Structure formats: C-alpha cells, structure tokens
Structure 1
Amino acid sequence: MRGSQLSEPASSGTPRPAGLRLDEVMQRVACGDKEAFTVLYDAVADTVFGIVLKVVRDRAQSEEVAQEVMIDLWRRASRYDPGKGSVHAWATMLAHRRAVDRVRSAEAAANRDHDHAVRDLQRPYDDVAERVETRLQSQQVRRCMKQLTELQRQAVTLAYYQGLTYREVAETLRTPLPTIKTRMRDGLIRLRDCMGVTT
C-alpha cells in the first residue's frame, strides 16, 4: 500500500519458508515462532493499516492501532481457525474491530471530558487511585523498556511517547526505515513478553 508506514510490501518481505500457506505460517506463530511472525507481519500489515486508516482517519493513531492488531495476531494465533476463513479475513476482522473500538473510545472519552467539565466534579479518592495505578503500570513499562536494545528503546520511545511516525523515527535516528520497522516489531514482542501478556 502506498504511504503505509508499517511494513514493506509483501513482495519484498521475507518469503514464506518452504512454500508454506499463510494458515500454516499462522500455526507456527501460535507455537511462538518469531520468524513465522515476521512472514505473517509482511503478509498482512499493509492490509491491516489500510483498514484501520479508513475507520480511524488519523495516520498516527492508525499506525498505533495497526500495531495493536499485529500484537493481537501474535497473542491470539492459537485461536485462529482456518475452517472459519482465511488469515487475511481474520486479520481484517481484528483490524476493523480494533479501529471501531478506538473511535468509540475516543468519542466516549470526549463525552466524559465534556460531562466532567459541565458538572465540575471533584473526586479526590478516584483521582489518587488512578494516579497510583498509572504509576505502577509506568514503573513496569520502564523496567521492561530497559530490556530492549538501545535502538529498540529509542524507536519505541519516539513512536509511542513522542508520537513520531515510523518514517520520522527513521529520519531522527538516521537508520533505514526497514530496520526501524523490524526493531519496532521485535521490541513490541519483547515488551509483550516482559509485561506478562498471555493468550
């Protein structure tokens, strides 16, 4: 897809090992095969991004949501049932669902903000509890970030904390875009494992 920041076109990506079909690649992903995940990523990332962009309509948010979908594919690979449709169809369904959730979440947040502003409510206990929970989560994220390579850590920080696109990250770090994409993908996998996210 022209303009996608997520992955190289499937034709220039990693070839499927031994001519495996995509559903067979998915079976390997379900077993934790990271090389198979690379193949899956190259095969569906552009499609996922395109679907998300049509729903979310914001490129930066769409890149973030598309990465969440790719993590979902990694985490839920064991749930894929080839009898219910192709891998592309499943990825498309997950992408659309995630994108709609993001739009609804943004609308709900905007409505909540509006309601709070109108009512001008003070809820100190809830605020303190939320701050404590956020701080604990932040500490875990910081601990897991230390396990990444320097390039992975810089790329993730620029993309998710400063809101840069992959292309902007590549330019900032003076690193080829395909390398940034690969390091980001591997870094997200390592963060997921460190954070204890399970299927």
Structure 2
Amino acid sequence: MEALAETRHVLQGAPTAELVQLIEAMARGNERALEQLYDATVGKLYALASAILRSVEDAEEVVCATYAYAWANAARFDDVRGNVLGWLLMLCRSRALDRLRQRRAAQLPEGSTEIESIAAEDDQPDDLLALLQQRSRVRTAVAQLTPVRRRLIALAFLQDLSHQQIAEKTGLALGTVKSHLRRALAQLREHLEAT
C-alpha cells in the first residue's frame, strides 16, 4: 500500500522518462504499469474529455477507450515523436471530438444526410469516416461488463478515486477492487481489439 502511494506521488508530477518506462512495461504486458499510468494521468484525461463533451457518460467512455487503445498499442509509442502525456491527451481529444461529431450527426434535421452535413463542415476524410460510425464500440464494450465492474470503472474514471477510496466507498476488499478493475480493463481491451 505504501509503495502504491509512493508511486502515485512520484508519478503525479511524472517526469517523461518514468511515463515512458510505464509504456514500455505495458508493451511487455505488465498490467501494473497500466494501473500506474492510469493513476498518474486519469485526472487530466477525464478533465479534457469532460470539457469537450460536457457529458459524464460520454467522457467516461472516451477515457476508457483511450486507455484501452494505449494498452493495445503501447509498443507503437515512440517517445521521439512526443511525450506520453501528450500522446494520451491527443488520443483522448481525438476520441472526444469523434464522439461530439457523432452526437451532432445524430441530431441532423430530417431529410439531410450525414455525408452532406459532414462535407459542409469539414473536408477531412478521417473525420468523415469517424462520423459515419453508427455505434459506439466503447458503449457496447462497457455494457458487457457486470454491474459491479461498470460501477468500479465509473468510480475510478468519473470520480478519479484511488483503489483504496473505491474499496472504502463500496465496502469491497482492496484486492477485490483491484482484481475487478484489472479484469474489466482486460475485458474492454479484448472487446475493442476484436471489433
């Protein structure tokens, strides 16, 4: 417990080299490194997603998708091209903007098409493809979690609670909280990689 608090304290103002080490450990399949990266950066990612989306549910899904992508693509991270926090924020921002565009597309006036609306706003093909997605992969993945795991993910991502704080709030043992969160993230990653 003391080691976790110490690690979290060090990573809060985490030097780039320490975050890079966590990404490298994630690339080797170290789930603990993902937990530490999450603890060190989730507040900033959630703040960004919330500022863009102004929706708790959407921000939670975007942050979750960001970490799932970072886990699945940790080996692709190149610290020469930028720092870890910048990479995570860029991933989060991109997903938040995609979600915002999807919401706008869902509110189109009758008779207009998504393609017409997108073409009028933005000529970038990547944005066009993102907006044409009909379903949220993250929403589907989160819906497949058990209610307990969904609640724990929400407490961790939305309320930025530590594992210990979640254990205290829910009455679950600390090890149980960590286990559920680790399994939930693994399940989300598997679902997102499969789709």
User: Fold-level match, TM-score > 0.5?
Assistant: yes
In structure 2, C-alpha distance between the alignment counterparts of 1:81 and 1:105, rounded to whole Å: 30
TM-score by length of 2: 0.60
- Aligned residue runs from structure 1 range 119-158, under 5 A: 153-157=146-150
Instruction: Give the direction of change, closer, same or farther, for the CA distance of 1:35–1:184 in structure 2 (3 Å limit).
Output: closer
- Aligned residue runs from structure 1 range 149-188, under 5 A: 153-157=146-150, 174-175=170-171, 180=177, 183-188=180-185
Contact 1:166 1:180 (8 Å CA) reproduced: no
The answer to whether structure 1 residue 97 and structure 2 residue 94 are counterparts is yes
Contact 1:55 1:100 (8 Å CA) reproduced: yes
Moved over 3 A (4+): 10-16, 156-160, 173-182
Identity of aligned residues (%): 24
Report which of the two structures shows the higher radius of gyration computed on alpha carbons: 1
The answer to whether structure 1 residue 13 and structure 2 residue 8 are counterparts is yes
TM-score by length of 1: 0.59
More displaced, 33-42 or 184-193?
A: 184-193
Who is 1:46 aligned against?
A: 43
Measured after TM superposition, the shift of residue 166 of structure 1 is: 6.0
Contact 1:49 1:66 (8 Å CA) reproduced: yes
In structure 2, C-alpha distance between the alignment counterparts of 1:46 and 1:15, rounded to whole Å: 15
CA RMSD of aligned residues (A): 4.1
Gaps of 5+ in 1: 1-9, 118-133, 146-151
| Alignment size in residue pairs | 151
Gaps of 5+ in 2: 113-134, 161-165
Who is 1:74 aligned against?
A: 71
The answer to whether structure 1 residue 197 and structure 2 residue 190 are counterparts is no
